[in-house]
Structures are given as structure tokens and as C-alpha cells.
Amino acid sequence: MRWSPSEEQDELRRTVRRFLEETSPTTEVRRLMETPEGYEPGVWKRLSQELGLPGVHVPEQYGGQGLGFAELAIVLEEMGRALLCAPYFASVALATNAILNAGTESQKAALLPALASGESIATLALTEPSGRWDLGGIELQAQRVADGFTLFGEKSFVPDGLTADRIVVAARRPKTDGREGIGLFHLRGDTAGLERRPLTTLDPTRKLARLGFRGARAEPLGEVGNAAAALEKTLDQAAALLANEMAGGAQRLLEMTVEYAKTRVQFGRPIGSFQAIKHKCADMLMSLELARSSAYYAAGCADESAKELPAVASLAKAQGSDAYLEIAAEAIQIHGGLGFTWEQDVHLYFKRAKASEVFLGDPTYHRELFAQRTGL
């Protein structure tokens, strides 16, 4: 496993950063988070066609670039740094990986090229109104009918669920519980019997929706009722990627805060010259480095499909959540409280940090998973 980026990975990072500095300044973030769609189709088209980002880790036979999770983690770290408003995490980190993990060869060949090219945008509908991220929380039922399956139930907190044109849904066979009877299904966003409505959220830079399934027809991904392992693998990969996205946001917060501490003058000297501010900035850097190291390691495990991925992904998600939120809180303090006003960009990162803390499961949930997975 590599511990330092290659020259090609450094060039990928520079390319993505230049693109996002041009297309996702905070003025644009503020504009897009007020729109129902939450993203700019022109920017999505450019990042798809010019950079090929939706297909970074998708194998070449399915229309992707054939790189790996290490490169995908770099892309998401930069997107987290820029607070990019786009359905990238939903479509790439969740839905595309679910199809890769659960789909048959013919299903991958049919579904992945459109996702890898950015022509199609998908999401994964897992969580229900209970807010649980474990498989035992899945109650939505898939009922077999003469020529397929119909879905009945509710999904909530679905990222970009309002705009995705394809939905991957976690459901279960009737009269099953736990990991038993879990299946993944997919359907188009305009399928009859699918109701979608937006949710009002703390972090408007990542749109969430509630989906109602009232007998919506859906196609199974892979073997019906035997998708628990594929879904757990998808969630572990997503946790590792989210940890990298959070590290990118925390890095940008630290940069903004240090710059402010150098320029804000109080009692005739920059506030960054006071020992208390120096200590806070040093603590922020330490938290960031620990979180980033675990996030990189988790991405490396995902890249190599290592057996330790489940434990490491949970560790990275818990550590990244804590670090991002702590750094955001300290950034607000060093900005003298100004950081939580509408005019200051720090509050945008604080809200993303708070929302990411619970997205895919909060730190307590992941520490429990880590303990179970390592036998503690």
C-alpha cells in the first residue's frame, strides 16, 4: 500500500483543484444551495466530459477511467475543500459502487457507462424515517409479482434523491429481518408509484429527499435477497470516501482561519501572535493530520479490497467526523464569532461538518462498529 501520492495523483489533484477554484467559489456555492436542484448542470457536464470524474474508478470496460479508490478519494477531498454543490457523492460514491458490488456483468454493462460519462445521475436510497444506517433498519419491502418486483415503503435522507434519474434502493423480502432477505433494486426516477419531495436540511449544500414507494416497479441488482454483503461493502467504501471529503473541508477551514489570524489586528498586533491562538491552530492541525492519515489509509484499503477495510472505514469516519466538527468550532471561535454570521464562509463549512457527522452514521455508531469488527 502506498503512503505517498504518485506524480500522476499529484497532477490529478492539481487539475481538479484548478477546475473547482474556477467553478465552485463560495459565491457560486451560496447561489446553488438556494436552488431546488442544488447543482449547476453546465459544471456537471464539464467535470464529466472534460475531466471524466464520474468514471474515475469505474473499470474501462464499463466506460470509466479504470483508476482506483485512491484517485477517487483525491477527487472527493478536493470537492470537500471546495464545498462543491453537485450530486457526485450520491452518484459515484454510493450508487455506482452499489452497482459495481451487487450487479451482474450484464447489469454493469447496461448501467455503468451512462453513470461513468455523467449522462445519468443516480443515488442510493438506504435510510428510512428511523434514521438508522445499519441493515436491520431496512423495512421497505420488495414484493414479487408475476413479472418482477414492486416496492412498498419510505426512504428518507436520500442524497440528491429529488434530481437523480436512477434510484438504487435497499429493500427486503417480506417476513425477514436483520441481514436476511436484503436486496438491492434499481428504477428510473420517473417510475409510476415513486413519490419524491425535498427535505429542509441544516446543510443546504448537500440536498436530501424523502422518497415514497407505492407499488413502484423495480429491477433487482444481482441475486434477490442476497445483497447484504454487497451493501455493507458499499457503505464501508462510502465511509472511507466521506472521511476524505471531510479532510478536504477541514484543510480549507484551517487555511482560512490561519489567514484570518495573520490579518486580524487586536491591541495593535495580529491575533495570530497571541499564544492562545497559536495553540488553537496547532491543535486544529494535529486533529486534521490524524483524520487525514486515517482517511488515506481507509482509501488505500478500499483500493486493495483489504480485509481490514470495514474496521478502518469506521475508524476513519468516526475520526474524520470529530476532527471536522472540532476544527469548524475552533474556526468560529478564532474568527471571534463572526464565523457563524451569514456573511462569513466559515459557517458554510460548519454546517457541512455537522451534517457529515451523522451522514452514513455518527461517530458513536462507527466506534461501536469498529469495536465489533476488531473484536474489542
pLDDT at 259: 97
Contacts of 15 (CB under 8 A, 6+ apart): 51
Average pLDDT of the chain to the nearest whole number:
96
Contacts of 150 (CB under 8 A, 6+ apart): 142, 143, 193, 215, 216, 217, 218
Question: Taking the complete model, does pTM exceed 0.95, yes or no?
Answer: yes
Q: Which three cell numbers stand for residue 145?
A: 409479482
Express each pLDDT in 122-154 by its tens digit.
Answer: 999 999 999 999 999 999 999 999 889 999 999
Q: Which three cell numbers stand for residue 14?
A: 492539481
Helix axes 228-263, 346-358, angle to 10 degrees: 160
Cβ-contact 199, 157 below 8 angstroms: yes
Closest CA to 291 of 312, 321, 314: 321
pLDDT at 361: 97
Q: Are strands 182-188 and 122-125 parallel, antiparallel or unpaired?
A: unpaired
d(CA 148, CA 120): 23
Express each pLDDT in 158-215 by its tens digit.
Answer: 999 999 999 999 999 999 999 999 999 999 999 999 999 999 999 999 999 999 999 9
pLDDT at 343: 82
Report helix, strand or coil for 194: strand
In the predicted structure, residue 340 carries a pLDDT above the cut 80: no
In the predicted structure, residue 17 carries a pLDDT above the cut 70: yes
